[in-house]
Amino acid sequence: MVDRANKPSAIAPSPGLPQPRVNLSDDNSRVTATLPTGESVEILLHGATVISWKSGGVENLWLSEKAVLDGSKPVRGGIPVVFPVFGGPPANHATSTLPSHGFARNSRWEYLGKSTSESGALSKGGDDCVKLDFGLYTATLSEEAKKAWPYDFGLVYSVTLGKDGLQTMLNVRNEGKVAFEFQMLLHSYFRVKDVSKVAVKGLTGVTYIDKVLNAQIATESNPAVRITGETDRVYQSIPQDTTSIVEADQPRYDVVRDNLEDSVVWNPWKEKAASIGDFEPKNGYINMICVEVGSVKGWQKLDGGETFEGGQIIRSSP
């Protein structure tokens, strides 16, 4: 149903050139990739959660000091994968008995392997990108999750590390004959020095749901969204592809949506952070902001054999 034009393709490594290094940890819990130029990414197989992405020697993602990395609960920080429902499941829906944000972020994924690329959105020629693929399927789900969401599906999550950015793409396939509906979101926690000096641009004129104000619907009238207290807004049907995070008037991140129209802007602020058990340090809200790309306004429907793919490209300016 969807042919991704920018999806990196596997090629044979160029002989004689330094190659990206990819390592699977001894305990089979995580995969790390490093480019010859120093950029790196680390993905936990629990949830296929990206827990580190460094460029220019700088960590770009915020990870709680109390993030649970042993597979017993979702990770607080990094880039958790939300599927097949965003937030609390609605009543009288096929997802209604699932936990908040679904099961993908709390399931163990399979590492499918790596490929290098001379083409694609992040490549500039030569072996300057490495793509890591992770899979989650009906057969590998917990019995509890299968019972709560009894559909035949396949997910392939591709994390591509390039010299100038990180691409994360989720491919969803209906492997059965019965149609299903889903939502998906990439819950990116970006590291910043001081969130009070951060502005999120590219959302002017966009309708949003303000979850802090009892789900009131409003239209963004400001040229930049600034964080002055607890913020939890779902921006819908964003016409621009790029949302930019600026800190102290300097570019920090560009978040480019690929085949996705919605974004969540979230920061718990002081009181909410204090109430979250695995959020540490408690003043860590100062050093993070979430800009989360997804398809959450309504539901994506896939008939048997159909596929959907969407994701993001993140470019950083350390």
Q: Is 101 a catalytic residue?
A: no
* 134 contacts 105 by C-beta, under 8 angstroms: no
Length of the chain: 318
Q: Taking Cα atoms as reference points, which of 271, 273, 287, 86 lies closest to residue 182?
A: 86
Cα distance between residue 124 and residue 130, in whole Å? 12
Q: What are phi and psi of 106, to 5 degrees?
A: -120, 25
- Nearest CA to 176 out of 156, 149, 157 is that of 149
Q: Does the N-terminal peptide bond of residue 84 adopt cis geometry, omega within 30 degrees of 0? A: yes
H or E element at residue 270 = helix 269-275
What's the CA gap between 243 and 234, in Å, rounded?
A: 13
Phi, psi of 173, rounded to the nearest 5 degrees: -130, 135
**Closest C-alpha to 40, from 25, 23, 17:** 23
Instruction: Select which of 39, 42, 261, 292 is catalytic.
Output: 292
| Residue in the block written with tokens 């002055």 | 228
- Please name the residue that has the structure tokens 């009131």: 216
* φ, ψ for residue 100, nearest 5 deg: -55, 135
Q: Which distant-in-sequence residues (6+ apart) come within 8 Å of 316 by Cβ?
A: 55, 56, 58, 60, 165, 252, 253
Q: Which tokens in the block code for residue 99? A: 């936990």
Catalytic residue among 39, 101, 187, 247: 187
| Residue 306 annotated among the catalytic residues of the structure | no
Instruction: Specify the DSSP class assigned to residue 286.
Output: G
Distance between CA 245 and CA 48 in Å, rounded? 24
Q: Supply the residues annotated as catalytic.
A: 187, 292
